[in-house]
Protein backbone atom coordinates (compact mmCIF):
# COMPACT_ATOMS: atom_id res chain seq x y z
CA UNK A 1 0.00 0.00 0.00
CA UNK A 2 1.18 3.52 -0.86
CA UNK A 3 0.17 6.53 1.20
CA UNK A 4 0.13 10.20 0.21
CA UNK A 5 -0.91 13.14 2.38
CA UNK A 6 -2.91 16.17 1.24
CA UNK A 7 -1.33 18.89 3.38
CA UNK A 8 -4.08 21.25 4.52
CA UNK A 9 -2.97 22.00 8.08
CA UNK A 10 -5.46 20.66 10.61
CA UNK A 11 -7.57 19.31 7.73
CA UNK A 12 -4.74 17.22 6.24
CA UNK A 13 -5.82 13.75 5.14
CA UNK A 14 -4.35 10.56 3.68
CA UNK A 15 -4.76 8.97 0.26
CA UNK A 16 -4.28 5.20 0.40
CA UNK A 17 -3.50 3.37 -2.87
CA UNK A 18 -3.19 -0.39 -3.26
CA UNK A 19 -4.78 -3.77 -3.92
CA UNK A 20 -7.56 -5.15 -1.71
CA UNK A 21 -8.02 -1.96 0.33
CA UNK A 22 -11.80 -2.35 0.48
CA UNK A 23 -11.11 -5.23 2.87
CA UNK A 24 -8.79 -3.23 5.16
CA UNK A 25 -10.96 -2.53 8.22
CA UNK A 26 -8.19 -0.53 9.84
CA UNK A 27 -8.25 2.11 7.10
CA UNK A 28 -11.94 2.79 7.61
CA UNK A 29 -11.77 2.63 11.38
CA UNK A 30 -8.88 5.07 11.44
CA UNK A 31 -10.86 7.67 9.47
CA UNK A 32 -14.26 7.42 11.20
CA UNK A 33 -14.78 9.29 14.45
CA UNK A 34 -18.23 8.03 15.43
CA UNK A 35 -20.21 4.79 15.25
CA UNK A 36 -22.71 5.59 12.52
CA UNK A 37 -22.10 5.74 8.77
CA UNK A 38 -24.14 6.23 5.62
CA UNK A 39 -22.84 4.57 2.45
CA UNK A 40 -23.84 6.35 -0.75
CA UNK A 41 -23.45 4.23 -3.88
CA UNK A 42 -25.22 3.46 -7.16
CA UNK A 43 -26.98 0.48 -8.69
CA UNK A 44 -23.93 -0.55 -10.74
CA UNK A 45 -21.26 -0.34 -8.03
CA UNK A 46 -23.33 -1.56 -5.07
CA UNK A 47 -23.82 -5.15 -6.35
CA UNK A 48 -20.05 -5.39 -6.84
CA UNK A 49 -18.59 -3.74 -3.76
CA UNK A 50 -21.22 -2.80 -1.18
CA UNK A 51 -20.94 -6.01 0.85
CA UNK A 52 -17.14 -5.84 0.98
CA UNK A 53 -17.38 -2.26 2.19
CA UNK A 54 -19.98 -3.16 4.82
CA UNK A 55 -17.84 -6.03 6.06
CA UNK A 56 -15.02 -3.57 6.71
CA UNK A 57 -17.55 -1.49 8.67
CA UNK A 58 -18.96 -4.31 10.79
CA UNK A 59 -18.09 -2.41 13.98
CA UNK A 60 -20.30 0.49 12.92
CA UNK A 61 -24.01 1.07 12.51
CA UNK A 62 -24.37 1.19 8.73
CA UNK A 63 -27.14 2.61 6.55
CA UNK A 64 -27.09 2.92 2.79
CA UNK A 65 -28.68 4.87 -0.03
CA UNK A 66 -28.39 3.49 -3.56
CA UNK A 67 -28.87 5.92 -6.45
CA UNK A 68 -29.26 5.18 -10.16
CA UNK A 69 -26.01 5.23 -12.12
CA UNK A 70 -25.08 8.04 -14.46
CA UNK A 71 -24.26 11.72 -14.82
CA UNK A 72 -27.87 12.54 -15.70
CA UNK A 73 -28.80 11.78 -12.08
CA UNK A 74 -26.22 14.19 -10.64
CA UNK A 75 -28.79 16.84 -9.79
CA UNK A 76 -30.67 18.42 -6.90
CA UNK A 77 -33.47 15.85 -7.03
CA UNK A 78 -31.15 12.92 -6.30
CA UNK A 79 -29.03 15.01 -3.95
CA UNK A 80 -32.23 15.46 -1.95
CA UNK A 81 -32.64 11.67 -1.76
CA UNK A 82 -29.34 11.46 0.11
CA UNK A 83 -30.51 14.12 2.56
CA UNK A 84 -33.83 12.32 3.00
CA UNK A 85 -32.05 9.06 3.81
CA UNK A 86 -29.87 10.81 6.39
CA UNK A 87 -32.89 12.43 8.02
CA UNK A 88 -35.09 9.33 7.90
CA UNK A 89 -32.40 7.23 9.55
CA UNK A 90 -31.80 9.98 12.13
CA UNK A 91 -28.16 10.59 11.36
CA UNK A 92 -26.55 13.28 13.51
CA UNK A 93 -23.62 15.64 13.08
CA UNK A 94 -21.14 12.93 14.08
CA UNK A 95 -22.16 10.69 11.16
CA UNK A 96 -19.68 9.84 8.40
CA UNK A 97 -20.78 9.51 4.78
CA UNK A 98 -18.87 7.01 2.63
CA UNK A 99 -18.89 7.72 -1.11
CA UNK A 100 -18.59 4.32 -2.80
CA UNK A 101 -18.53 4.85 -6.55
CA UNK A 102 -17.23 7.03 -9.33
CA UNK A 103 -17.07 10.78 -9.72
CA UNK A 104 -20.83 11.32 -9.72
CA UNK A 105 -21.28 9.52 -6.40
CA UNK A 106 -18.21 11.21 -4.92
CA UNK A 107 -19.41 14.67 -5.91
CA UNK A 108 -22.98 14.13 -4.70
CA UNK A 109 -22.10 12.39 -1.45
CA UNK A 110 -19.44 14.99 -0.73
CA UNK A 111 -21.89 17.83 -1.37
CA UNK A 112 -24.43 16.16 0.92
CA UNK A 113 -21.73 15.91 3.59
CA UNK A 114 -20.91 19.60 3.11
CA UNK A 115 -24.56 20.60 3.56
CA UNK A 116 -26.03 18.16 6.10
CA UNK A 117 -26.22 19.87 9.49
CA UNK A 118 -23.76 22.44 8.08
CA UNK A 119 -21.05 19.89 7.44
CA UNK A 120 -20.25 16.30 8.43
CA UNK A 121 -17.32 13.97 7.72
CA UNK A 122 -17.05 11.86 4.59
CA UNK A 123 -14.65 9.35 3.06
CA UNK A 124 -14.00 8.87 -0.63
CA UNK A 125 -13.84 5.26 -1.87
CA UNK A 126 -13.51 5.81 -5.65
CA UNK A 127 -14.19 2.83 -7.90
CA UNK A 128 -13.50 4.35 -11.34
CA UNK A 129 -10.17 5.44 -12.75
CA UNK A 130 -11.41 8.99 -13.26
CA UNK A 131 -12.45 9.27 -9.63
CA UNK A 132 -9.27 7.61 -8.38
CA UNK A 133 -6.92 9.98 -10.17
CA UNK A 134 -8.90 13.18 -9.99
CA UNK A 135 -12.34 13.86 -8.55
CA UNK A 136 -11.93 12.02 -5.22
CA UNK A 137 -8.98 14.22 -4.21
CA UNK A 138 -9.30 17.90 -3.41
CA UNK A 139 -12.72 18.45 -1.90
CA UNK A 140 -14.62 19.78 -4.92
CA UNK A 141 -18.23 18.62 -4.51
CA UNK A 142 -21.24 19.58 -6.59
CA UNK A 143 -24.34 18.73 -8.58
CA UNK A 144 -25.17 19.79 -12.11
CA UNK A 145 -27.75 22.27 -13.34
CA UNK A 146 -29.42 22.08 -16.73
CA UNK A 147 -27.51 25.22 -17.75
CA UNK A 148 -24.09 24.22 -16.45
CA UNK A 149 -22.02 21.43 -14.94
CA UNK A 150 -21.04 21.56 -11.25
CA UNK A 151 -22.60 24.99 -10.81
CA UNK A 152 -24.08 24.16 -7.38
CA UNK A 153 -21.55 22.88 -4.88
CA UNK A 154 -19.02 23.46 -2.13
CA UNK A 155 -15.40 22.84 -1.21
CA UNK A 156 -15.49 20.11 1.44
CA UNK A 157 -12.44 17.93 2.05
CA UNK A 158 -12.77 14.22 2.87
CA UNK A 159 -11.27 12.56 5.95
CA UNK A 160 -9.50 10.02 3.74
CA UNK A 161 -9.39 8.67 0.19
CA UNK A 162 -9.20 4.86 -0.06
CA UNK A 163 -8.24 3.73 -3.58
CA UNK A 164 -8.53 -0.01 -4.21
CA UNK A 165 -7.05 -0.63 -7.66
CA UNK A 166 -8.81 -4.02 -7.80
CA UNK A 167 -12.00 -2.09 -8.59
CA UNK A 168 -10.58 -1.32 -12.03
CA UNK A 169 -11.00 -4.99 -12.98
CA UNK A 170 -14.79 -4.52 -13.25
CA UNK A 171 -14.67 -1.12 -14.94
CA UNK A 172 -16.27 -0.90 -18.39
CA UNK A 173 -13.77 -0.12 -21.17
CA UNK A 174 -15.48 3.16 -22.00
CA UNK A 175 -15.28 4.27 -18.35
CA UNK A 176 -11.60 3.30 -18.21
CA UNK A 177 -10.92 5.37 -21.33
CA UNK A 178 -12.74 8.32 -19.79
CA UNK A 179 -10.46 8.11 -16.76
CA UNK A 180 -7.40 8.10 -19.00
CA UNK A 181 -8.39 11.52 -20.31
CA UNK A 182 -7.82 12.97 -16.83
CA UNK A 183 -4.56 10.99 -16.50
CA UNK A 184 -3.27 12.44 -19.77
CA UNK A 185 -4.35 15.88 -18.61
CA UNK A 186 -1.87 15.74 -15.71
CA UNK A 187 0.95 15.09 -18.16
CA UNK A 188 -0.03 17.98 -20.42
CA UNK A 189 -0.49 20.45 -17.56
CA UNK A 190 2.32 19.61 -15.15
CA UNK A 191 4.58 16.70 -16.07
CA UNK A 192 6.18 16.15 -19.47
CA UNK A 193 8.10 13.11 -18.20
CA UNK A 194 4.84 11.51 -17.10
CA UNK A 195 3.29 12.23 -20.51
CA UNK A 196 6.25 10.45 -22.13
CA UNK A 197 5.89 7.56 -19.67
CA UNK A 198 2.25 7.20 -20.72
CA UNK A 199 3.29 7.07 -24.38
CA UNK A 200 5.83 4.36 -23.55
CA UNK A 201 3.47 2.17 -21.48
CA UNK A 202 0.21 2.09 -23.44
CA UNK A 203 -0.05 -1.71 -23.64
CA UNK A 204 0.82 -2.23 -19.95
CA UNK A 205 -1.74 0.36 -18.88
CA UNK A 206 -4.46 -1.23 -21.00
CA UNK A 207 -3.57 -4.58 -19.44
CA UNK A 208 -4.17 -3.08 -15.97
CA UNK A 209 -0.87 -4.38 -14.61
CA UNK A 210 -1.08 -3.71 -10.85
CA UNK A 211 2.36 -2.14 -10.48
CA UNK A 212 1.76 0.06 -13.53
CA UNK A 213 -1.68 1.20 -12.34
CA UNK A 214 -0.43 1.83 -8.81
CA UNK A 215 2.34 4.03 -10.18
CA UNK A 216 -0.04 5.82 -12.58
CA UNK A 217 -2.61 6.58 -9.88
CA UNK A 218 0.00 7.60 -7.34
CA UNK A 219 1.66 9.99 -9.79
CA UNK A 220 -1.65 11.68 -10.59
CA UNK A 221 -2.70 11.88 -6.93
CA UNK A 222 0.68 13.31 -5.94
CA UNK A 223 0.26 16.13 -8.47
CA UNK A 224 -3.31 16.78 -7.37
CA UNK A 225 -2.38 16.72 -3.66
CA UNK A 226 0.43 19.22 -4.21
CA UNK A 227 -1.80 21.57 -6.19
CA UNK A 228 -4.67 21.37 -3.67
CA UNK A 229 -2.30 22.09 -0.77
CA UNK A 230 -1.11 25.20 -2.58
CA UNK A 231 -4.49 26.41 -3.86
CA UNK A 232 -7.44 24.71 -2.18
CA UNK A 233 -10.18 27.06 -3.44
CA UNK A 234 -9.00 27.30 -7.05
CA UNK A 235 -7.88 30.92 -6.94
CA UNK A 236 -4.65 30.28 -8.84
CA UNK A 237 -2.70 27.22 -9.96
CA UNK A 238 -5.52 24.75 -9.30
CA UNK A 239 -7.47 26.32 -12.15
CA UNK A 240 -4.87 24.88 -14.53
CA UNK A 241 -6.23 21.40 -13.76
CA UNK A 242 -9.30 22.47 -15.74
CA UNK A 243 -7.46 22.06 -19.05
CA UNK A 244 -10.09 21.11 -21.63
CA UNK A 245 -12.93 21.50 -19.15
CA UNK A 246 -14.33 24.81 -20.44
CA UNK A 247 -14.94 23.20 -23.82
CA UNK A 248 -15.70 19.81 -22.26
CA UNK A 249 -18.37 21.02 -19.86
CA UNK A 250 -20.08 22.78 -22.77
CA UNK A 251 -20.13 19.49 -24.70
CA UNK A 252 -21.60 17.61 -21.73
CA UNK A 253 -24.31 20.18 -21.11
CA UNK A 254 -25.25 20.54 -24.78
CA UNK A 255 -25.29 16.80 -25.52
CA UNK A 256 -27.17 15.93 -22.32
CA UNK A 257 -25.32 14.74 -19.24
CA UNK A 258 -24.18 11.17 -19.61
CA UNK A 259 -24.45 10.93 -23.40
CA UNK A 260 -20.83 12.02 -23.55
CA UNK A 261 -18.88 10.84 -20.52
CA UNK A 262 -16.99 13.54 -18.66
CA UNK A 263 -13.60 12.17 -19.72
CA UNK A 264 -14.68 11.91 -23.36
CA UNK A 265 -15.77 15.55 -23.34
CA UNK A 266 -12.55 16.61 -21.61
CA UNK A 267 -10.49 14.74 -24.23
CA UNK A 268 -12.16 16.62 -27.08
CA UNK A 269 -11.89 19.82 -25.03
CA UNK A 270 -8.15 19.34 -24.51
CA UNK A 271 -7.64 19.00 -28.25
CA UNK A 272 -9.57 22.24 -28.82
CA UNK A 273 -7.39 23.92 -26.19
CA UNK A 274 -4.25 22.61 -27.89
CA UNK A 275 -5.48 23.85 -31.26
CA UNK A 276 -6.12 27.26 -29.70
CA UNK A 277 -2.57 27.24 -28.33
CA UNK A 278 -1.25 26.41 -31.78
CA UNK A 279 -3.31 29.21 -33.34
CA UNK A 280 -1.88 31.66 -30.80
CA UNK A 281 1.67 30.45 -31.45
CA UNK A 282 2.12 29.01 -27.95
CA UNK A 283 2.86 25.47 -29.20
CA UNK A 284 3.46 23.97 -32.62
CA UNK A 285 1.24 21.55 -34.48
CA UNK A 286 3.50 18.57 -33.75
CA UNK A 287 2.60 18.88 -30.06
CA UNK A 288 -1.10 18.99 -30.93
CA UNK A 289 -0.68 15.80 -32.94
CA UNK A 290 1.23 14.14 -30.09
CA UNK A 291 -1.69 14.81 -27.74
CA UNK A 292 -4.23 13.58 -30.32
CA UNK A 293 -2.27 10.38 -30.89
CA UNK A 294 -2.08 9.50 -27.20
CA UNK A 295 -5.80 10.17 -26.72
CA UNK A 296 -6.58 8.02 -29.76
CA UNK A 297 -4.51 5.14 -28.36
CA UNK A 298 -6.89 5.10 -25.39
CA UNK A 299 -10.02 5.22 -27.59
CA UNK A 300 -10.88 8.80 -26.73
CA UNK A 301 -12.50 11.33 -29.09
CA UNK A 302 -10.34 14.10 -30.51
CA UNK A 303 -13.18 16.01 -32.18
CA UNK A 304 -16.16 17.80 -30.70
CA UNK A 305 -19.67 16.65 -31.70
CA UNK A 306 -20.39 17.65 -35.29
CA UNK A 307 -23.77 18.97 -34.16
CA UNK A 308 -22.18 21.73 -32.04
CA UNK A 309 -21.39 25.09 -33.61
CA UNK A 310 -19.86 28.23 -32.17
CA UNK A 311 -23.12 29.53 -30.67
CA UNK A 312 -23.95 26.25 -28.93
CA UNK A 313 -20.53 26.27 -27.27
CA UNK A 314 -20.85 29.91 -26.21
CA UNK A 315 -24.21 29.42 -24.48
CA UNK A 316 -22.52 27.13 -21.98
CA UNK A 317 -19.00 28.55 -21.86
CA UNK A 318 -20.27 31.95 -20.74
CA UNK A 319 -21.41 30.20 -17.54
CA UNK A 320 -17.98 28.67 -16.96
CA UNK A 321 -16.61 29.13 -13.43
CA UNK A 322 -13.39 30.63 -14.79
CA UNK A 323 -15.24 33.61 -16.30
CA UNK A 324 -13.90 36.73 -14.56
CA UNK A 325 -15.22 40.26 -15.07
CA UNK A 326 -17.25 39.00 -18.01
CA UNK A 327 -14.16 37.58 -19.74
CA UNK A 328 -13.74 33.98 -20.74
CA UNK A 329 -10.46 32.53 -19.48
CA UNK A 330 -8.91 29.44 -21.03
CA UNK A 331 -6.30 27.00 -19.75
CA UNK A 332 -3.91 26.63 -22.68
CA UNK A 333 -0.71 24.59 -23.06
CA UNK A 334 2.53 26.48 -23.65
CA UNK A 335 4.37 23.16 -23.90
CA UNK A 336 3.62 19.55 -22.98
CA UNK A 337 4.05 19.74 -19.22
CA UNK A 338 3.24 23.45 -18.89
CA UNK A 339 0.02 25.47 -19.12
CA UNK A 340 -1.18 29.00 -18.43
CA UNK A 341 -4.47 30.86 -17.97
CA UNK A 342 -5.32 33.23 -20.83
CA UNK A 343 -8.10 35.81 -21.17
CA UNK A 344 -6.99 37.38 -24.46
CA UNK A 345 -8.64 34.92 -26.85
CA UNK A 346 -10.74 36.84 -29.39
CA UNK A 347 -14.15 35.75 -30.60
CA UNK A 348 -12.72 35.34 -34.10
CA UNK A 349 -9.99 33.00 -32.83
CA UNK A 350 -12.44 31.02 -30.74
CA UNK A 351 -14.83 30.66 -33.66
CA UNK A 352 -12.00 29.55 -35.92
CA UNK A 353 -10.94 26.76 -33.53
CA UNK A 354 -14.48 25.52 -32.87
CA UNK A 355 -15.68 25.56 -36.46
CA UNK A 356 -12.63 24.07 -38.16
Distance of CA 188 to the CA centre of its chain: 16
Q: What span, in angstroms and rounded, lies between the C-alpha atoms of 333 and 341?
A: 9
> How far is the C-alpha of 48 from the C-alpha of 101, rounded, in Å?
10
Termini Cα distance of the chain: 47
Q: Which residues are catalytic?
A: 118, 140, 182, 224, 234, 238, 242, 245, 249, 262
- Residues 149-168, buried b or exposed e (16+ Cβ, 10 A)? bbbebeebbbbbbbbbbbbb
Of 238, 103, 129, the residue nearest 182 (C-alpha): 129
Residue from 118, 122, 114 nearest 95 by CA: 122
Query: Strand 36-42 to strand 96-101: parallel, antiparallel, or no bridges (unpaired)?
Result: parallel
CA atoms within 13 A on the CB side of 101: 29
Which three-class secondary structure state does DSSP give residue 126? strand
Nearest to 116 by CA among 74, 88, 138: 88
User: What is the CB neighbour count within 10 angstroms for residue 308?
Assistant: 18
DSSP state of 118: G
Amino acid sequence: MDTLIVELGERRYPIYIGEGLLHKKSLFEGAIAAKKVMIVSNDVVAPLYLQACKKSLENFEVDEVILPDGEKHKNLAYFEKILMALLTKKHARDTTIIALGGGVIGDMAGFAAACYQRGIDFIQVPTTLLAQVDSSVGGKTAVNHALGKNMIGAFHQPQAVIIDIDCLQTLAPREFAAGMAEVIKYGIVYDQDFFTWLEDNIAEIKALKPEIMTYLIKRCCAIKARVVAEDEKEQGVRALLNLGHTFGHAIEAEQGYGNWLHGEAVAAGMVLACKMSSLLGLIDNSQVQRVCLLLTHFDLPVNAPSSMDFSSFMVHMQLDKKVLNGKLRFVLPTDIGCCGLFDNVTETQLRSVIEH
